[in-house]
Structure 1
Amino acid sequence: MKNIFEINHPMIQHKLTQLRNKETSTSDFRRLCNEIGIFLGYEALKDIEVLEKNIETPITSMRGKYIDEEKITFVVILRAGLGMLNGILEVVPNARIGHIGLYRDESTLEIVEYFSKLPTGIENTKVMLLDPMIATGGSIIDSINILKGKGVKDITVLSLISSPEGLSKITSKFNDVNIYTAAIDERLNEKGYIVPGLGDAGDRIFGTH
């Protein structure tokens, strides 16, 4: 599918297997979410604008390359997206952070918005939307609509595990959004959960399962 990038790095797949395992502890699950998020962040930023400035090394002067970290905003879809935030902040520690609160009504599978707090001037930044799982795609679509309503034009989605159905739904509505994921799984089941998946990411991150 266009604009979808499945990152098949051996280390990601190794950590993803641990993440999926139902015997993995809460603390290890949190660590793995952050570690995989680091890999995804590096890959998703490979085309970021590179600037230059003069610096002094211990040996000589040179033109060094750098990125303007404040031109990057990480937007977390609450609550599970928090599980990826610390990891990707290791990649870009000076990025700005926004939060969007959504939840899925378990009876209708519809997405309900309950919170939105985004940095001023977010429309002038590259926005990376964090959500560990793309299941039905509803929360991502609603979040993208919120961001576009704020004037954001450059949006990238980072997700650990995605369903084909969710990805297809997102890309059918937005042809200008890139999605980076560690795995595209088989399908959704009748309850809207990803198969084989990893269970409920939020419950496993916060120990509420």
Structure 2
Amino acid sequence: MTMLHVVDHALLAHRLAELRDAATPSPRFRKLLAEIGAILTLEATRALPSRIARITTPLTEMDHQVLAAPEPVLVAVLRAGLGLMEGGMQVLPEAPVGHVGLVRDEHTLKPSQYMLRMPPEVRSRGAILFDPMLATGGSAVAAVQRVKEAGAPSIRFVCVVAAPEGVAKLSAAHPDVPIYTASLDEKLDHRGFIVPGLGDAGDRCFGTVE
């Protein structure tokens, strides 16, 4: 679990508490998810390569730290990843955007792909992959593999809550991919849901039910 980063931030914890609350309505849930996505994106990009550039302020010239390369591509795992990536887009508004469509069989818990749209910049910029829940790890492993196959030289995985089982599976399959999360939760239940978790992020984000 050396690649796991549990982000310790008071504002993040406060928002996560409200996000977990079963009484939080969908509009508020979406707003919180985006705000959490922004905080996690800041942490995931903390160590982006930088260089020193000469700039001119209103008063003088100076050497200043700037990014050494363009921003990573932002990739959402559909559909719940859209709400989380919204915060990433606020932090990196000029970053290209990609999508991976995966659906999990509720009986086998195995994912199947129904869509993949990736900008060509992913081959040079790498990617930040957004999925609110890292539960069994099956969807995360599959999504990371699809982005790697698209040519991404580096990937950061951003989620809101993670289960130990999912972290172990993703780390075993892709040990080069760091995981950024707001919480490492206790366990998975018999249905593969994270406990204590926050329920089905997609349904809560968009107000849908099965």
Q: TM-score, normalised by structure 2?
A: 0.95
Aligned to 1:179: 179
Aligned partners of 1:70 and 1:94 also within 8 Å? no
2:83 match: 83
Q: Compute the displacement of 1:53 (Å).
A: 2.8
Which position in structure 1 is the counterpart of 2:147? 147
Q: 5+ residue gaps in structure 2?
A: none
State the SS of the aligned residue for 1:34. helix
**Partner amino acid, structure 1, of 2:81:** G
Q: Distance in 2 between matches of 1:147 and 1:11?
A: 31
**Count, aligned residues:** 209
Q: CA deviation at 1:68?
A: 5.8
Deviation at 1:157, TM superposition (A): 0.2
What is the Cα-based RMSD across aligned positions, in Å?
Answer: 1.3
Residues 82-161 of structure 1 mapped to structure 2, 5 A cutoff = 82-161=82-161
* TM-score for both structures, normalised by structure 1: 0.96
Matches of 2:85 and 2:130, distance apart in 1: 8
Give the deviation of 1:38 after TM superposition: 1.2
Gapped runs of 5+ residues in structure 1?
A: none
Q: CA offsets, 1:70-122, max 9 Å, x none?
A: 44101100000000122111211111110000010112111010000000131
Q: How far does residue 65 in structure 1 lie from its aligned partner after superposition? A: 2.4
CA distance in 1, matches of 2:85, 2:180: 15
**Secondary structure at the counterpart of residue 12 of structure 1:** helix
Q: Per-residue CA shift, 1:7-45, capped at 9, x if unaligned?
A: 121211111110000000111101111111111111111
Distance in 2 of aligned mates of 1:69 and 1:86: 22
Partner of 2:59: 59
1:165-189 superposed Cα distances (whole Å, 9 cap, x missing partner): 0110111111111000000111111
Match of 1:189 in 2: 189
The alignment-based identity, stated in percent, is 40
Change (3 A) 1:13 1:71: closer
TM-superposition CA deviations, 1:148-172 (whole Å, max 9, x none): 2122221100000011101101111
Give the secondary structure class of the aligned counterpart of 1:13: helix
Structure 2 CA distance for aligned equivalents of residues 19 and 175 of structure 1:
29
Cα distance in 1 for partners of 2:52, 2:89 equals 22
- Structure 2 counterparts to residues 154-169 of structure 1, below 5 A: 154-169=154-169
What's the CA shift for 1:126?
A: 2.6
